[in-house]
Structures are given as C-alpha cells and as structure tokens.
C-alpha cells in the first residue's frame, strides 16, 4: 500500500502521546521521544505480541481432521426382493418366481417343494436376479432359500408360498396320435375327460399349425370333444401339429387343465370309397384313380344305411356285433349278436364295412344288412388292409337319411358355413 505523507502539526500517536514530528510509516521512519517513553513503548509492544500469540494459539487446528471410525457410514448390505411375499397363497403356477438384488450379487437361490424337489431356476449373468425356469405344481407349498453377497456383507432370506388349488382338473388328449399317417378326411380331435364349461377358453388354448398353411375352424361334437378341420379335404403330404396348452388355465367354473399335450401327424394318400346303392358297389379311388370295385349289400329298408360322408375310424380283425349296443334287443325281430371278421369302422353308431359270407348271394343285388356294408371275406380283408383312419366312404342313393354330423365320424356332413361359425 501507499500512505500519504501527513502534514506537520501536532498529532496523537498510537499510544496517545504527543510528538514533535509525525512518524512516517510508509518510509519506515520513527522519531522516538525520551527513554521512559521508549520503555513504555516496548512494554506495550510485548503485551500486544503476547495477545496476538494467544489469539493465534487458540485457533491452531489439531493436525488430525479425519472423522472418527465410529462415525463413518457403514456400507449397505445386499437387499433381496421377491416377486411373492412370504406366506402368499393362491399363486399362479405359470407365473415365474423371481428375485432381484441391490448392493450385491446372488450366490445361491433354491426353491423346493414339500417333497424336496428342487425347481429349475437360473441366476442372471450379472448376479442381480434369479428366476424359475419351469412351471410350478398346483396346490404346492414352495420354500425359498437365497443368499447374496456384497461390499457390505452377506444377506440371507427364506420364505414360503402356496400355489392355487383348482376346484377340479381335466386331462386333454390330442389325436391323431404322434407320428400317425391318416387320410384326407381326418379332423383334429381334442378330447377332455370332463365336460368343458367355457368352450371358448379351451379353444383359445389350442394351436393348430399346418404345413402348408390352411384355413380351418373348431367345432364341438359334444361337451367333451372339439374338432378342427379345413373347409375342404386335406392335401396329401400336409403336416399337422396340435398343441394343447391348458395347464394353469381356468376352463370355466374352476376347472383347470391337468397337463399340456401335443401331437404331430401327416396326411397320407387320398383314399375315397364311393358306395352307391344304385349300383350296389363300393368303388375305391386312390389319389383319384379307381383301384378296386366290389359288390355290396346295404342296410335293408327297415334299417337303411344313411347317406353322407363317413370318416374311417377303428378296425377289428374279429369282433362281436351286438344290436343291444344301440338299443335293439338281441332277441327282437331286428336283433342280433354275431361275430364278424375284417371289420372297418365307418361310424360311431355301429356301421362297418365287414365280411359277410352269409349274404354273398345278395351282394350287388339286394340290401339285407342291419345298416353295415356287407362284402365278401376277400374284399373285406382287402378293404381292411388298404384303408386307414381318416380315409373317406361316401354313401349315395340309399333310402336312409344323412349321417349326423355329431355321430363322431360324420364331421363332413356339417356345412362349412355352420362349422366355421363355431358352437363354443
């Protein structure tokens, strides 16, 4: 700093004394008075210095500014969160059980049922989460044990939960069976062992995949069985896969699917048998070419064979035919109980193509059967070996009505417009 030089005159010094001349601090000049004054000045300076020292000494830091260890914030331990709280009940068995971790990583997670079976699960690559990788059972108690580690230490957790208990269960069956080769008229069949209260819910859990793709629709033939078919007959070589994914789903009134089922089958050669009452013959076409024609005898006038399209079903090399199975007593006028050979099923109501050596003289001329198509033993055997489930028999020109579409093997007698509209 610069100090102005003070003009001459009498001024008070810093100690209240009068000087003849003014001290010029800026030039470091001082004119002192008598010795006594000098002593008093030195004393005052010492007192001032002492006061300054004391003041400074009271503000000198200790030299150790770190916070004591006891006052440091502790590192947080890992926190494990669960998708279901301890003691939860009625849990959806399809819902994955999951864990999430903060401030650390999972080192172990185990979910077991009451039998001690470990549920498959997977820890994420970063250790921050875990999830089950298989579905859970119905009405089961599951126990979780998990451990996570982090900079702040180790955290463990245990809990239990219970999955929902359905009111009832139903087992589905998908047909045709896995690997089957069937005819061009074979519908997809999904049968349940219980009546289905919510048919639409069941349909929504069934997926039909075809190669090549084809449009199709569901139709219920009774309370336990739904069918799926295309508008027209299948194209030979088509592959059909059926997935019935009903486990964990309510099909109405607390009825849940017991298990999932699937099947894949293939459509074989086109085989259509034309049974014409005018000519009283059966003409078999394979891929459009007639390969065999055989005389037959249809149902007599009191028990005529219905017209319509039949789907070939089961077959028996030998079987007992009993009229009482469809309500006609054996000892009545039209009753019978007879063993037949080489029987190929055409309807659930009991119509077969079968060997009838007793009517050889009538075959091709007169109708004498109880509704079946009577043929010779040789022709019955050929038909048995050269047709397959899903092949078709088209009956024409009889005096009977039309085979019901709800017969079980009469699906093609339901008009496509009706079938496509559905009946869920």
Same domain (yes/no): 292, 391: yes
Length of the chain, in residues: 424
pLDDT given for residue 334 in this prediction: 82
Tokens at 211, concatenated: 């190669």
The helix/strand/coil state of 132 is strand
Placement of tokens 């301890």 in the chain: 86
* pTM recorded for the entire structure: 0.79
Among 19, 27, 58, 372, the active-site one is 372
The helix/strand/coil state of 303 is coil
Which residues lie across from 157 on neighbouring strands?
146
CATH number of the domain encompassing residue 123: 2.60.40.3780
Assess if residue 154 is contained within a domain: yes
Among 19, 27, 58, 354, the active-site one is 354
CB 29 within 8 A of CB 23: yes
Mean pLDDT by 10-residue block, N- to C-terminus, for the chain (424 residues)?
Answer: 37 36 35 42 40 38 48 84 97 98 97 97 97 98 98 96 98 98 99 99 99 98 98 99 99 98 99 99 99 99 97 98 90 92 97 98 98 99 99 99 97 99 98
CB 163 within 8 A of CB 248: no
221, 237, 267: which is the final residue of a domain? 267
Same domain (yes/no): 140, 204: no
Contacts of 137 (CB under 8 A, 6+ apart): 93, 113, 163
Number of domains in the chain: 3
Edge to edge, what strands does the sheet with 181-182 contain? 181-182, 261-267, 239-244, 206-211
- Range of the structural domain that residue 115 is part of: 79-163
pLDDT given for residue 200 in this prediction: 98
Q: Is 19 tagged catalytic? A: no
Assess if residue 48 is contained within a domain: no
Cα 95 to Cα 347: distance, rounded to the nearest angstrom: 44
pLDDT given for residue 68 in this prediction: 52
- If you write DSSP's letter for every residue of 54-109 in order, what string do you get? HHHHTT---S--PPPGGGSPPPPPPEEEESS-TTEEEE-TTSPPEEEEESSEEEEE
Cα 318 to Cα 321: distance, rounded to the nearest angstrom: 10
pLDDT given for residue 50 in this prediction: 40
Same domain (yes/no): 122, 107: yes
Count of other CB atoms within 10 angstroms of residue 87: 9
Q: Which of 365, 364, 371 is nearest to 298 (CA)?
A: 371
163, 194, 209: which is the final residue of a domain? 163
DSSP 412: G
Assess if residue 113 is contained within a domain: yes
- If you write DSSP's letter for every residue of 236-301 in order, what string do you get? TT-EEEEEE--BT-B-STTEEE---EEEEEEE---EEEEEETTTTEEEEEETTEEEEEEE-B-B-T
Same domain (yes/no): 386, 277: yes
pLDDT given for residue 73 in this prediction: 73
pLDDT given for residue 156 in this prediction: 98
CATH number of the domain encompassing residue 346: 2.40.440.10
The helix/strand/coil state of 15 is coil
Same domain (yes/no): 397, 288: yes
CATH number of the domain encompassing residue 211: 2.60.40.3710
Same domain (yes/no): 227, 306: no
Per DSSP bridges, beta strands 255-257 and 261-267 are: unpaired
The helix/strand/coil state of 140 is coil
214, 233, 267: which is the final residue of a domain? 267
DSSP 211: E
CB 152 within 8 A of CB 77: yes
Assess if residue 34 is contained within a domain: no
Torsion on CA atoms 312, 314, 315, 319, rounded to nearest 10: -130
Cα 242 to Cα 207: distance, rounded to the nearest angstrom: 6
């Amino acid at each position: 700093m610069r100090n102005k030089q003070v003009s001459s005159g009498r001024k008070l010094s810093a100690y209240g004394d009068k000087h003849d001349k003014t001290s010029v601090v800026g030039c470091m000049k001082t004119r002192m008075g008598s010795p006594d004054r000098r002593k008093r000045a030195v004393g005052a300076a010492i007192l001032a210095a002492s006061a300054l020292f004391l003041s400074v000494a009271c503000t000198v830091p200790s030299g150790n500014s770190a916070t004591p260890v006891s006052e440091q914030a502790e590192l947080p331990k890992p926190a494990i969160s669960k998708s279901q709280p301890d003691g939860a009940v009625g849990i959806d068995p399809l819902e994955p059980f999951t864990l999430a971790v903060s401030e650390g990583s999972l080192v172990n997670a185990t979910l077991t049922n009451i039998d001690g079976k470990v549920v498959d699960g997977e820890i994420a690559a970063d250790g921050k989460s875990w999830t089950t990788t298989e579905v859970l059972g119905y009405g089961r108690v599951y126990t979780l044990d998990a451990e996570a580690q982090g900079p702040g230490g180790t955290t463990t957790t245990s809990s239990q939960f219970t999955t929902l208990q359905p009111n009832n269960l139903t087992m589905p069956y998908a047909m045709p069976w896995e690997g089957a080769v069937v005819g061009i008229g074979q519908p997809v069949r999904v049968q349940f062992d219980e009546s289905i209260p919510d048919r639409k819910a069941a349909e929504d859990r069934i997926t039909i995949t075809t190669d090549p793709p084809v449009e199709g629709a569901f139709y219920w033939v009774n309370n336990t069985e739904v069918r799926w078919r295309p508008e027209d007959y299948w194209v030979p070589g088509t592959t059909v896969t059926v997935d019935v994914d009903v486990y964990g789903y309510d099909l109405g009134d607390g009825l849940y699917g017991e298990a999932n089922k699937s099947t894949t089958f293939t459509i074989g050669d086109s085989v259509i048998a034309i049974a014409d009452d005018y000519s009283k013959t059966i003409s078999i076409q394979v891929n459009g070419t007639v390969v065999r024609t055989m005389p037959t005898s249809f149902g007599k006038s009191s028990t005529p064979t219905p017209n319509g399209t039949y789907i070939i079903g089961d077959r028996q090399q030998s079987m007992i035919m009993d009229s009482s199975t469809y309500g006609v007593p054996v000892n009545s006028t039209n009753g019978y109980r007879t063993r037949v050979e080489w029987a190929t099923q055409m309807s659930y109501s009991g119509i077969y193509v079968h060997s009838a050596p007793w009517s050889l003289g009538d075959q091709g001329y007169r109708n004498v059967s109880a509704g079946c198509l009577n043929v010779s033993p040789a022709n019955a055997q050929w038909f048995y070996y050269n047709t397959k489930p899903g092949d078709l028999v088209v009956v024409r020109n009889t005096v009977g009505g039309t085979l019901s579409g709800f017969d079980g093997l009469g699906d093609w007698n339901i008009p496509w417009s009706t079938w496509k509209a559905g009946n869920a």
